[in-house]
Amino acid sequence: MATFALVHGGGGSAWDWHLVATALRERGHDAVAVDLPCDDASAGWADYRDVVTEAIGVRRDPVVVGHSLGGFTAPLVPARLLVLVAAMIPAPGETFADWWAATGYQGTGLDDVFYHDVPPELAAEARRRERGEDSRALREPWPLAAWPDTPTRYLLCRDDRMFPAPFARRHARERLGLEPDEMDGGHYAALSRPVELADRLAAFTAG
């Protein structure tokens, strides 16, 4: 059995992971999803880390999974394995605002980059639950001097309109020297393909 700590992306919430968490528990694993303090103007990266660490509690050797902007938070948390799902990979000292130009991100110009393949009722609920991303963390340099010495997997979504597959492949290779794993689905695969995503996460712990 593995423990998964599930970290949402920008303006999201623990709810984003509810279907994946259920699927992981059905497979005999433990799963905890967190609400980051993204709408707290005083919260920095240390506060983001502490929220995840407190949610993990006494559980040992978690697998920390970061989605999208959650890629800035996940590596701050001690883990047996890091999994980045359609995620941003920060460089030491880089701010959120700097990341876009530093990675050569150019956007896609497509409508609905988040929920285009999510069932309509889930997409509507996700939009209703969106929170502001107003924390101090976005203006702080990413605090680690280097990527942690933790095994890391990058899982890209081939139909992602936010971070298209060619960009995500290059991003994982340039920032971490990783050849990414791939699955079908858009940016919010946790809502559009939760069972497949849970199976992928579980498989990472079996290897």
User: What are the tens digits of pLDDT across the range 94-125?
Assistant: 999 999 999 999 988 888 999 999 999 999 99
Contact of 38 with 133, CB cutoff 8 Å: yes
Cβ–Cβ under 8 Å, residues 40 and 69: no
- pLDDT tens digits along 39-54: 999 999 999 999 999 9
| pLDDT, position 97 | 95
Averaged pLDDT, 62-74 = 98
60: helix, strand or coil: coil
For residue 207, is pLDDT > 70? no
Buried b / exposed e across 18-55, counting CB within 10 Å, b at 16+? bbbbebbeeeebbbbbbebbbebeebbbeebbebbbeb
Q: What angle do CA 130, 25, 84 make, to 5 degrees?
A: 55
pLDDT of residue 110: 86
Burial per residue of 69-96, b for 16 or more beta-carbon CB atoms within 10 angstroms, e otherwise: bbbbbbbbbebebbbbbbbbbbbeebeb
For 97-124, letters b (16+ CB in 10 Å) and e give eebeeebeeeeeeeeebbbbbbeeebbe
Label residue 112 left, alpha or beta by phi (over 0 means left) and psi (-120 to 50 means alpha). left
pLDDT exceeds cutoff 70 at 131: yes
Contact partners, residue 112, CB within 8 Å, separation at least 6: 161
Amino acid of residue 79: A
Q: What is the pTM of this model?
A: 0.97
Asked if residue 37 lies in contact with residue 135, where contact means CB atoms within 8 angstroms, the answer is yes
Q: Residue 6: which H helix or E strand, with range?
A: strand 3-7
The single residue listed with the structure tokens 């995503």 is 197
What structural domains and CATH numbers belong to the chain?
A: 3-206 (3.40.50.1820)
